[in-house]
Amino acid sequence: MPIEVGQDTARTRRSLTAGGQDYAYYSIAAATEAGLGDFDRLPIALKVVLENLLRFEDGNTVTGDDIKAFAQWAQDGGTSTREIAYRPARVLMQDFTGVPAVVDLAAMRDGIVALGGDAQKINPLNPVDLVIDHSVMIDEFGNPRAFQVNVDREYERNMERYVFLKWGQKAFNNFRVVPPGTGICHQVNLEYLARTVWSDTDQNGATVAYPDTLVGTDSHTTMVNGAAVLGWGVGGIEAEAAMLGQPISMLIPEVVGFKLTGAMPEGTTATDLVLKVVEMLRKHGVVGKFVEFYGDGLDNVPLADRATIGNMAPEYGATCGFFPIDAETIRYLRQTGRDEATLALVEAYAKTNGMWRDAGYEPVYTSTLELDMATVVPAISGPKRPQDHIPLVNAASDFVKYVEGIRSGKDASPRAEHRWEAEGGQPEPEEIPGDEGHHRRGFVPVPGGKPYQMHDGSIVIASITSCTNTSNPYVMIGAGLVARKARERGLDRKPWVKTSLAPGSQVVSAYLEAAGLQDDLDAIGFNLVGYGCTTCIGNSGPLEPEISKCIADNDLIAVSVLSGNRNFEGRISPDVRANYLASPPLVVAYALVGDMNVDITRDPLGQDRDGNDVYLKDLWPSQAEIAELVEATVTREAFQSKYADVFKGDEKWRAVETTDSQTYDWPSGSTYVQNPPYFQNMDKDPGTISDVKGARILALLGDMVTTDHISPAGSFKETTPAGKYLTERQVQPREFNSYGSRRGNHEVMMRGTFANIRIRNEMLDGVEGGYTKGPDGEQTSIYDAAMAWQDKGVPLVIVAGEQYGAGSSRDWAAKGTALLGVKAVIAESYERIHRSNLVGMGVIPFEFTGGDTRKTLELTGDETIDIAGLEGDMRPGALVPCTITYADGSTKEIELKSRIDTGIEIEYVENGGVLHYVLRNLAKAA
């Protein structure tokens, strides 16, 4: 389908030639010539957005005043209140978020037919790629058969979802599916799908060149910014609207410039750099802003390292972390197999349209900060937030303080005493180095041998996983070299450590095998377990039953170390309470020592075959060693070979059969895919926004409540509302899979909303998990309480602290909230994506004003909330009155700020959500 360009774009349309091919393009210099303003000193990230408006200028959704506002942005020091309509070139999805998106599209087809429209009106207008990467779970590990066993189990668990996705691939235009076992969506995007500069024919048949841009239904879509592709994560509902031609409404963003100077010192990795960047930007405050990296230090930052930094933009809170096009961009595109015509176009376009980073590039930024990379030190982050940066030399002592904090009275449960009984008795285990007096201990039996001791700090998961690091050959080769040196000295992982290697693409396996390093990784337990997100998304799989029992019986604080991007509470494993992010080489090192109490910068990791101590410095490779192997094994041919049949899949995928129909025949007995209620019995005309009257508080939450807390992705037990729902339908606990894989079934997902095992509702005293007070005042599950309030016709609100909705771009965090009957959320501040998702589901986000918080207002959760001023002529960002009625009958008047930020968002809420808005408009146009 040809791309649409605006009607008023001729004044900025120009031509260029690259690689012998002529292209039209929309010139920023021509916009200056046309009197629209001086755009010379705009950050390149913002020039990409400006080009988008030039291309779609039509005098209606995009006007000349919108374009002039970019020049004004530079004059005003990098700020603007101008609302613009932005249209990304394409959409990227993964299966956890993609399945519910396709479910919504299928439901919209039913909905438009019910409104008298044509089902074919519901079709993506822009290219959409869905990569199945979130489904593989680590059931088998540490042996050569792990990969095949995990793949087989993946198909057994997820066949209903795969049948549905194959139907979607047939039914919808512009929709492709990358099958399981290929890689992680962001790495596939970086290594194959992205082009940096795109070209296509317009409605007049001309070939047009323009920047490659996208939105994705995963917050780490930002990874591709490392290749100068402007992209960020949105909720599934916002992505669906973009697919259907709805522009993304946004304010011209502030852009923070992050200047890099110097070069990384010996012994450090890109992971160390990004963890420092995350810490600095979180302190600076970049929520809702673009970050652009600049400075001469970029000459020393390979694109793989840039992608690592771009990947973790959600962790530092930014919309994106952008790297402009330069010579390194071209080198990477060539290495990863892009054709020469694309390379010629990227370079010519960037230089012609002012998007090439030259020496001395220093545009206008809203604010700036600077890092001399020579000051970066080896580090990890944890135990429960990515921004909690810890220099490696302090890691052990920091963990001891963390345990002391928990054991000093916050956790008042009595110390559990557990002794394993065995025939003939078992000898006492030896003490493990680093075991301190405040630690709790437990013993794990070993049939026919000596039991081993576990305690607070035992590392039970060590996982090389996630697109963040496995996309980077420097850290992956580094991990392999640490494994090689450990193997040569006779070191092995500790028996209580569950080790795994889950690369983001098959290319990783190709170069590890070419370097002979996969054998070394296998030798210490880092066997290939699958190509997917695994531990980083919570698909770490169960621990050995004896280890899990020892942790539970002794209330141990067990530890995971992973090379991922997220370490929020309850995300990695229900058995693990402390989670640390680390580089792949450090993950290997921690698997060898098996104990977070050990200072691996000073203490030995173990002993060699002769009983000599082996230290981290003995195993750590030099930058020269790593670079030599990267140069020899990471080849253009490997990328071209592994991506040659990227959409074909293996025999299992090709054997998946599905129907050929415009609308989906929803299987009534499916526990994975169900027709959601959003569009059923929908009127042709929108409603109005109503005041919130007599609402009760469903949950009273603290700061930094993440989307993982709101809508967990991992496993769940049969005692939970979701588990009971499946058990009632004869699904055995072994087949529960995960919340993430069940996202196509709203019945499971609404039962899982606010059900994270670590969430703390302040309405209850010291209780963890998805609990609240029901209408009778008794403790019950949040789901059961919400249903009881709905039966009484009582609306609900959520009250929270700062940074509400941080983390993944998880649309179910908003969908589940809406389905529970929540009409409004009142928080101190929001993370960008979740605020947008709430609006997209018709839930109004409000912020406290005037220094009010849940604490200053002394809320207990027993109050009644009334919010007025919503009916009639409501404006974006309006201040509205709220009346709090306390349990004793007293009242307090406060003022709330509506976080419906734009005019179009008011229309979304009036319609009950963005998809309802789109559906009604499409039905009217039919």
Q: What is the pLDDT of residues 809-826, one digit of tens each?
A: 688 999 999 999 999 999
683 found inside a domain: no
Query: Per-residue b/e over 325-359, b at no fewer than 16 CB within 10 Å?
Result: bbebbbebbebbbbeeebbbbbbbbbebbbbbbee
Number of helices (H) and strands (E) in the chain: give both, helices first.
31, 34
Specify the DSSP class assigned to residue 300. G
731 found inside a domain: yes
* Residues 450 and 565 both lie in one domain: yes
- Domain boundary among the residues 588, 619, 634 is at 634
Nearest Cα residue to 488 out of 512, 525, 518, 523: 523
What per-residue confidence (pLDDT) applies to 550? 93
Angle, in degrees to the nearest 10, between helices 832-840 and 914-925: 50
439 found inside a domain: yes
* Residues 710 and 573 both lie in one domain: no
Whichever domain contains 911, its CATH number is 3.20.19.10
What per-residue confidence (pLDDT) applies to 428? 41
496 found inside a domain: yes
What 410-415 contacts at long range (C-beta under 8 Å, 24+ apart), as own/partner pairs, is: 411/555, 413/555, 415/440, 415/554, 415/555
- Centre a 10 Å sphere on the Cβ of residue 509 and count the other Cβ atoms it contains: 17
Rounded Cα distance between 136 and 594, Å, is 25
* Residues 734 and 619 both lie in one domain: no
> In the beta sheet, which residues pair with residue 176?
129
- Domain boundary among the residues 567, 602, 634 is at 634
809 found inside a domain: yes
179: helix, strand or coil: coil
Name the helix (H) or strand (E) containing 72: helix 64-75
Could you report how far apart the first and last alpha carbons of the chain are, in Å?
19
What per-residue confidence (pLDDT) applies to 410? 52
* Residues 602 and 700 both lie in one domain: no
Q: Which two tokens stand for residue 498?
A: 């569950």
Whichever domain contains 448, its CATH number is 3.30.499.10
Q: Which two tokens stand for residue 555?
A: 């209330």
* Residues 466 and 564 both lie in one domain: yes
- Centre a 10 Å sphere on the Cβ of residue 909 and count the other Cβ atoms it contains: 26
* Residues 625 and 702 both lie in one domain: no
* Residues 626 and 707 both lie in one domain: no
- Centre a 10 Å sphere on the Cβ of residue 88 and count the other Cβ atoms it contains: 22
393 found inside a domain: yes
708: helix, strand or coil: helix
Rounded Cα distance between 673 and 661, Å, is 17
Print the domain residue range for 738: 692-925
Report CA-CA distances (Å) from 362 to 259, 291, 295, 365: 9, 14, 8, 9
* Residues 426 and 542 both lie in one domain: yes
- Centre a 10 Å sphere on the Cβ of residue 594 and count the other Cβ atoms it contains: 23
* Total count of domains within the chain: 3
* Residues 619 and 721 both lie in one domain: no
Q: Which two tokens stand for residue 925?
A: 């146009």
Taking the CA atoms of residue 140, residue 468, residue 830 and residue 713 in that order, the dihedral angle to the nearest 10 degrees is -10
232 found inside a domain: no
- Domain boundary among the residues 55, 86, 117 is at 86
489: helix, strand or coil: coil
What per-residue confidence (pLDDT) applies to 560? 95
- Angle, vertex CA 855, rays to CA 854 and CA 859, nearest 5: 60
* Residues 865 and 759 both lie in one domain: yes
| Residue 284 contacts residue 276 (beta carbons within 8 Å) | no
What per-residue confidence (pLDDT) applies to 417? 29
Rounded Cα distance between 901 and 839, Å, is 9
- Write phi, then psi, for 726 (nearest 5 degrees): -70, -40
Q: Which two tokens stand for residue 130?
A: 């869905």
80 found inside a domain: yes
* Residues 739 and 867 both lie in one domain: yes
Low-confidence ranges of the chain (pLDDT < 70): 1-2, 6-8, 409-438, 537, 809, 926
| Residue 498 contacts residue 134 (beta carbons within 8 Å) | no
* Residues 829 and 748 both lie in one domain: yes
What per-residue confidence (pLDDT) applies to 413? 29
Rounded Cα distance between 871 and 507, Å, is 56
Q: Which two tokens stand for residue 386?
A: 């990515």
